[in-house]
């Protein structure tokens, strides 16, 4: 009897393990939006349209080639982003680089791909951090601004360029509101896997100096850090 029970337990364990493995495969398939090659073709096509509006050429070179490869793998849901590049598709993106290297433009191009080809899963609002502070300064219900930008997928453009907000009615002094927003978004990420995308000219050391070690530590859990190399392409 004990032998039969042991055999049944082994079979059940194998069955449960098989279910878990199949679920992992299914989850990975669900994350797959299109092939990376398809995403690259779309990206190049839309990028040429985007830059032509500014009378500029879209150029891929040694400075942005690796970044664009990672970006396309990430947004296509390519598992190689995890297995080869050691990233995590469940996390957001923190893109660091010098001014003018194309950080903001790359997210606007992804946004255009989503809109032009009706790919809802790629859609996210893009907002400049200084615009968030401007809204906060004129809004009477200031907590509503914090709450609005604490939930849902967002791309915060140019983190670090914003001034401290005017919150003297509540705090008696200036406030760096993105400390609250980013800490709230960390909670949203843990609870609901809510993604955040950020572009910034700041280094991690500068981010810690500006927003504190608590925010910097949370960035490790929330983001894949990708650096976009090179100098400004605006000239």
Under 8 Å between Cβ of 210 and 176: yes
Instruction: Give the Cα separation of 33 and 28 in Å (integer).
Output: 10
Q: Is residue 157 within 8 Å of residue 199, measured between CB atoms?
A: yes
Q: What is the pTM of this model?
A: 0.84
Mean pLDDT, rounded, of the chain: 88
pLDDT tens digits, one per residue of 14-32? 444 444 444 444 344 445 6
The predicted structure's pLDDT at residue 234: 77
Q: Who wins on pLDDT, 15 or 82?
A: 82
Domains of the chain and any CATH numbers:
91-228 (3.40.50.300)
> Are 161 and 129 in contact, with CB atoms under 8 Å apart?
yes
Burial 84-118, CB ≥16 within 10 A → b, else e: ebebebebbbbbbbeeebbbbbbbbbbbbbbeeee
Contact 232, 98 (CB under 8 A): yes
Query: What is the reported pLDDT for 220?
Result: 94
Q: What pLDDT shows up at residue 172?
A: 57
pLDDT band, very low/low/confident/very high, at 11 (cuts 50, 70, 90): very low
Q: How far from 105 is each of 51, 81, 95, 191, CA to CA, in Å?
A: 9, 21, 12, 30
Predicted pLDDT of residue 6: 47
- pLDDT given for residue 166 in this prediction: 82
> Taking Cα atoms as reference points, which of 105, 155, 97, 119 lies closest to residue 39?
119
Comparison of pLDDT for 22 and 110, the residue scoring more = 110
Position 99 pLDDT exceeds 80: yes
If you average pLDDT over residues 19-48, what whole number do you get?
Answer: 72
Residue pLDDT, tens place only, 184-226: 999 999 999 999 999 999 999 999 999 999 999 999 999 999 9
pLDDT band at 33 (very low <50, low <70, confident <90, very high): confident
What is the mean predicted confidence (pLDDT) over 48-77?
96
Confidence tier at 81 by pLDDT (50, 70, 90): very high
Instruction: Return the pLDDT at 30.
Output: 44
Render pLDDT for 130-182 as a digit per residue (tens, 0 to 9).
999 999 999 989 999 999 999 999 999 999 999 988 876 555 578 999 999 99
- Interatomic CA distance for residues 87 and 224, integer angstroms: 6
């Amino acid at each position: 009897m004990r032998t039969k029970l042991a055999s049944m337990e082994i079979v059940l364990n194998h069955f449960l393990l098989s279910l878990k493995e199949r679920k992992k495969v299914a989850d990975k398939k669900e994350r797959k939006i299109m092939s990376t090659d398809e995403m690259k073709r779309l990206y190049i096509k839309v990028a040429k349209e985007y830059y032509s509006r500014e009378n500029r050429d879209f150029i891929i070179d040694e400075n942005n080639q690796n970044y664009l490869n990672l970006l396309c793998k990430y947004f296509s849901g390519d598992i190689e982003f995890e297995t080869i590049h050691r990233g995590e598709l469940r996390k957001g993106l923190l893109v660091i680089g010098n001014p003018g290297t194309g950080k903001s433009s790359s997210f606007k191009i992804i946004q255009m791909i989503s809109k032009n080809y009706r790919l809802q899963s790629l859609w996210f609002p893009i907002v400049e951090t200084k615009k968030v502070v401007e809204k906060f300064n004129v809004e009477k219900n200031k907590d509503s601004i914090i709450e609005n930008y604490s939930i849902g997928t967002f791309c915060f453009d140019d983190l670090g360029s914003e001034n401290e907000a005017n919150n003297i009615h509540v705090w008696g002094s200036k406030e760096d509101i993105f400390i609250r927003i980013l800490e709230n978004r960390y909670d949203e990420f843990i609870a609901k896997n809510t993604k955040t995308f950020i572009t910034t000219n700041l280094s991690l050391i500068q981010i810690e100096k500006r927003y504190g070690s608590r925010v910097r530590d949370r960035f490790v859990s929330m983001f894949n850090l990708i650096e976009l190399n090179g100098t400004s392409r605006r000239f």
